[in-house]
Structure 1
Amino acid sequence: MHFLAYILIYPFLWLTSILPFKLLYALSDGLYILLFRVFGYRKKVVSSNLKLVFPEKTEKEIKRITKVFYHHLCDMIVESIKSLSVSEAEMKKRFKFTNVEVVQNIEAQNRSMILMCAHYGSWEWIFILQTYVKSRGNAVYKQLANKYFDKLVKRIRAKYNSYLITTKEIIPTLLEEKKQDIVSINGFVSDQSPRRDKAYHWQDFMGINVPVHTGAEMLAKKLDMAVVFFRVKKVKRGFYECTFETITETPKDFKDYEITDIFLKLVENQINEAPEYYLWTHKRWKHRNKKEAV
């Protein structure tokens, strides 16, 4: 069944990917009508999340953020499909780095690093970073149920020396790389909601007390990796600007969970600047403090 789904859907994805960007975004506009207006995909979740973290905003402001967010979400979907065939030159034109030397300088020290980000702006095209560095790129991801599509996504990333690694694989992979003196850049989208029974640390995020992932910090300390945050700004439709900010090059100097808390604050600042580009369909606050969940 998985193979049948793959051979039926893949041709459509490929044909979509070779469309010029103008037509691609016309397709995105049509997808917006379907997701937002016809099917109302997770509209209750989006509305609930926005009202929870922005109690001071008016209904009109919430509606504006919601509409812009759904347009952006649809753009993200078609841009992900475009990754199948987009050229390196086109990608570099559309996803630019303001200070890639931050990463290059750490790499020059023969240091591996943890690259942290949130579900904000565009994290799909960050793998073009590998064309500016020599290090191997690893990205932690959740394996797709369909093994054929899973292999496809891995193949797309591998074009630029980037490799997708599951949470179960990341620790043995990084230990082996350290043993072999392999320098790597390791991407973590670290704003997900962990299982309540697996939470080691709780912190306020957008004013709500929630459990937070601490794996990136744990690995940074264990393997003495620099920790860098990357902020993505949507300049205009189809164009993004990425800025790096070093959290620390000496992670062992920090108290437990301090690096994680710094990361969360950076994400908060990013969201507050332009909330419409955060992934509001994600149930980020589902395990919030019981007192706040009432």
Structure 2
Amino acid sequence: MQAVVFWLIYPLLWFISILPFWLFYRVSDLVYFIVYYLVGYRKKTVTDNLELVFPEKSSQEIIEIRKKFYRHMCDMFLEMIKSISISEEELKKRFVFTNLEELRRIEKLDKSIILMCGHYASYEWLFALQLNNLKHKAFGIYKKIRNPGFDKLVNDIRRRFGAELIRNSTSTSRITQNEKEGVRGIYAMIADQSPKSPNYKFWTDFMGKKVPFYTGSERMAKELDMAVIYLHVEKIKRGRYKASLINIADSPSKTEDHQITLEYKQHLEKQIKEKPEFYLWTHKRWKHLGKETPQNAVIR
């Protein structure tokens, strides 16, 4: 049944992907109207999140941010579909890296890199990184999609541009094996996921609210001596992004515990506060707010 669903939907996705950009974004406008006004997809979650972290903003300001967010979310979803057919040349023009010399500097150190990303601006076109003649191979850590057809499609899109996806369930073993074999990589990890359990051991303020935080990126960097970079992505306009690479640590083992995670969080918070419409507010990032912290939890 899942295969039938995929093959029924795929022709439409392919057709949308080959549309010229001016028409492509008209489709996104239509999707926005359906999602925001007719379906109201997670509108309560988005509103609750915005009111929670921006208590100083008026109802009208919250509504304006909410509308801008949904427009952006629909653009990003459609841009994922555009990846089916977009050319390398077009992708490089639309997702520009401002300081690739930072990656080349670390490549000379003969170290792999953990690229800490957030649910901010665009992470769908991040695989454009592999189109810039880097020595390191690009990998993305992701959660497997239930429908096998769509899961394969997402993987095939990344492989088109030389990147590879690794399932989160096998990421530790795969990265460790790569390091043992001397395979240097750039591993993109979305690090602001909310832990499933409130019993997670590290809690800190995120947008002024105390919540648990994953520290897996930091732990792996320390254990395997991998450099850490924050991916700072800005949306310049529709279909145009600028990415800067901000160094967090060349030698993670020399940093204090949780320093890397806290610095990552600060970079992400700054972006959210400046332009909140580009954060993924449908994400239930504060679902553990107010729950009791474990006795042995570290609170910063």
| TM-score band, normalised by shorter chain | over 0.9
Moved segments of 4+, more than 6 Å: none
Shift of 1:190: 0.6
Shift of 1:198: 5.3
Kindly provide the amino acid, as one letter, of the partner of residue 10 in structure 1: Y
Instruction: Report the equivalent of 1:287.
Output: 288
Instruction: Report the equivalent of 2:14.
Output: 14
Query: Residues 3-55 of structure 1, C-alpha deviation per residue, up to 9 Å, x if partnerless?
Result: 10111111111111000111110000001110001111111000000000000
Q: Do the aligned partners of 1:200 and 1:214 also contact (CA within 8 Å) in 2? A: no
Q: Do the aligned partners of 1:112 and 1:225 also contact (CA within 8 Å) in 2? A: yes
> What SS does the corresponding residue of 1:261 show, helix, strand or coil?
helix
- Counterpart Cα distance in 1 of 2:13 and 2:171: 29
Instruction: Report the equivalent of 2:90.
Output: 90
Shift of 1:197: 4.8
Instruction: Report the equivalent of 1:3.
Output: 3
Instruction: Report the equivalent of 1:108.
Output: 108
1:275 aligns with 2:290: no
- Counterpart Cα distance in 2 of 1:126 and 1:285: 26
Between 160-169 and 191-200, report the one with greater CA deviation.
191-200
Instruction: Report the equivalent of 1:251.
Output: 252
Q: Do the aligned partners of 1:116 and 1:188 also contact (CA within 8 Å) in 2? A: yes
- Counterpart Cα distance in 1 of 2:67 and 2:6: 32
- Counterpart Cα distance in 1 of 2:277 and 2:116: 20
Instruction: Report the equivalent of 1:162.
Output: 163
> What SS does the corresponding residue of 1:290 show, helix, strand or coil?
coil
Q: Do the aligned partners of 2:198 and 2:288 also contact (CA within 8 Å) in 1? A: no
- Counterpart Cα distance in 1 of 2:131 and 2:4: 35
Instruction: Report the equivalent of 1:52.
Output: 52
Instruction: Report the equivalent of 1:213.
Output: 214
> What SS does the corresponding residue of 2:169 show, helix, strand or coil?
helix
Between 98-107 and 63-72, report the one with greater CA deviation.
98-107
Query: Residues 167-205 of structure 1, C-alpha deviation per residue, up to 9 Å, x if partnerless?
Result: 221111111111111110001001110122551211100
Kindly provide the amino acid, as one letter, of the partner of residue 22 in structure 2: K
Between 99-108 and 266-275, report the one with greater CA deviation.
99-108
> What SS does the corresponding residue of 2:140 show, helix, strand or coil?
strand
Q: Do the aligned partners of 2:198 and 2:291 also contact (CA within 8 Å) in 1? A: no
Instruction: Report the equivalent of 1:138.
Output: 139
Between 45-54 and 150-159, report the one with greater CA deviation.
150-159
Instruction: Report the equivalent of 2:183.
Output: 182
RMSD: 1.3
Stretches of structure 1 that go unaligned for 5 or more consecutive residues are none
- Counterpart Cα distance in 2 of 1:30 and 1:186: 35
Between 192-201 and 204-213, report the one with greater CA deviation.
192-201
Query: Residues 69-102 of structure 1, C-alpha deviation per residue, up to 9 Å, x if partnerless?
Result: 0110110111000000000110011111111111
Kindly provide the amino acid, as one letter, of the partner of residue 57 in structure 1: K
> What SS does the corresponding residue of 2:170 show, helix, strand or coil?
helix
Instruction: Report the equivalent of 1:196.
Output: 197
Query: Residues 235-293 of structure 1, C-alpha deviation per residue, up to 9 Å, x if partnerless?
Result: 111101001100000101112212111111110001011001000011110011338xx
- How do 1:62-81 and structure 2 match up within 5 A? 62-81=62-81
Between 44-53 and 175-184, report the one with greater CA deviation.
175-184
Query: Residues 113-154 of structure 1, C-alpha deviation per residue, up to 9 Å, x if partnerless?
Result: 100010000011011101111211111111000112111110
Equivalenced residue count is: 292
- Counterpart Cα distance in 1 of 2:169 and 2:199: 15
- Counterpart Cα distance in 2 of 1:2 and 1:169: 24
Between 242-251 and 196-205, report the one with greater CA deviation.
196-205
> What SS does the corresponding residue of 1:240 show, helix, strand or coil?
strand
- Counterpart Cα distance in 2 of 1:50 and 1:27: 27
Kindly provide the amino acid, as one letter, of the partner of residue 222 in structure 2: K
Kindly provide the amino acid, as one letter, of the partner of residue 211 in structure 2: V
Identity of aligned residues (%): 47
- How do 1:219-230 and structure 2 match up within 5 A? 219-230=220-231
> What SS does the corresponding residue of 1:5 show, helix, strand or coil?
helix
